[in-house]
A and B are shown apart, each in its own frame.
Chain A
């Protein structure tokens, strides 16, 4: 094969670095008493960000194509299923489909991983065992495998990202959950999602219930008054928004009625903040608004201006009564003029925001008059959004 070009060394290099780091810090994690799960999650997060940045070419290209097709099909099926979805309780089967708990690498070569963020090594073994595509496997295993990590979920302060994510070709991150009735649900991050979680007061091995997913805004009040929790959208989890903090802590609390109300309020706040049309209780917050509205946008009203110009005596009275901000007639014309003073800066002056950076070490830097010569080594470059590496770089420039 004389025509084969040199393979890009970057993905392999990055892979090996990731492996080295993860293996080296495993001991550190264990010394601190941090579970192996967290280590795997770190690795997964790391790899996902690398893939998302698109700076590395061919990180998982061959698997990517196969997964895209599968993910698309799954996405369509799941969307149809979610439209039928109602608030349901999900009971996990006590037996799990995957038997062993080996902490193998999540990156199984045979199983595509590009678009399935697999948190659990058991999932991969299941994948290779049944021969299902990663997307389907993630869906089917999202709940059952949520059992054991769910234990740790509750005990280790809530690890929301234990569920499975799938990244479609659009770049959306969808969360897959499979209910007991066989329907598959997708949680789409753009839509406002309220997830109901069954939190058992007693943790029994066979009786853990996985999160229930609803695609549509669902009133928390109805249906499950006793045990209701809130799971924030996965997108918020990834972005670690403010709301995640509140609700991540919510998950830690066992489901008790008193705390449920707090959860409900938090959810309502979430809903309100996102402009959702949550029914009922949010009206309580609406009552807090004062009945009288102070006008703060200037006296540009057209209602009573005609009278003002004719009779000046009225101006003072009306101003005192209406309590507007200094709205003299003269300023009515000036304010629109003043508003033009703002100069809008273009923040993105370049099409590409990436600053091209080379991070390296220098062997020798030489200058003659204004001619510079660079002898560099061991560098990582990010040019036009893509990553490159070199062991040696020689350059010339005029100053």
Chain B
């Protein structure tokens, strides 16, 4: 299962809002909406992995850090994001990062037990 991480983005939130509206007017069922969101997760994960090819550098000061359930959450202050083309400065930014190596755990977000086949 793909990470549900990207649902809280502009793209993801607009999709959720649209689905909510359709549920409100009873044009779709909540079950169907959930299926759409799952499909969205797959699509956005694939798209980011395959269709995006750019690098960004950033520098700032770390305010807080948290590592829980294999998810890193940082809050940085006075950060500069630098791309080849332009520079973006922000006073505060929150970074939420899931493990990029294994995507197995996301579906069971509360489980810390990883069963690996022993050979």
Which A residues are within 8 Å of any B CB, using their own CB? Answer: 5-6, 9, 13-14, 16-17, 20-21, 24-25, 28-29, 32, 34, 38, 41-42, 45-46, 49-50, 53, 55-56, 156-160, 238, 240, 244-245, 248, 355-363, 365, 372, 374, 376-384, 386-399
Contact = CB atoms under 8 A, between A and B. Distances in A.
A242 B91 CA distance: 38
A360 B55 CA distance: 13
Given A248-B25, A378-B45, A396-B59, A383 B93 contact: yes
A42 B98 contact: no
Given A16-B47, A42-B18, A390 B61 contact: no
Nearest to B8: A359
A29 B97 contact: no
A238 B92 contact: no
B61 A49 contact: no
Interface in B23-66: 24-29, 31-32, 35-36, 39-40, 42-49, 51-63, 65
Interface residues of B, number: 71
**Most interface-central of A21, A156, A381 (chain B CB within 10 A):** A21
Chain A binding site: helix, strand, loop or mixed by DSSP? mixed
Chain B binding site: helix, strand, loop or mixed by DSSP? mixed
A13 B49 CA distance: 11
B98 A393 contact: no
Given A46-B18, A357-B96, A393 B8 contact: no
Given A21-B40, A38-B22, A53-B14, A384 B76 contact: no
Given A357-B8, A389-B52, A394-B55, A362 B100 contact: yes
B15 A16 contact: no
Contacts of B13: 49
Nearest to A377: B100
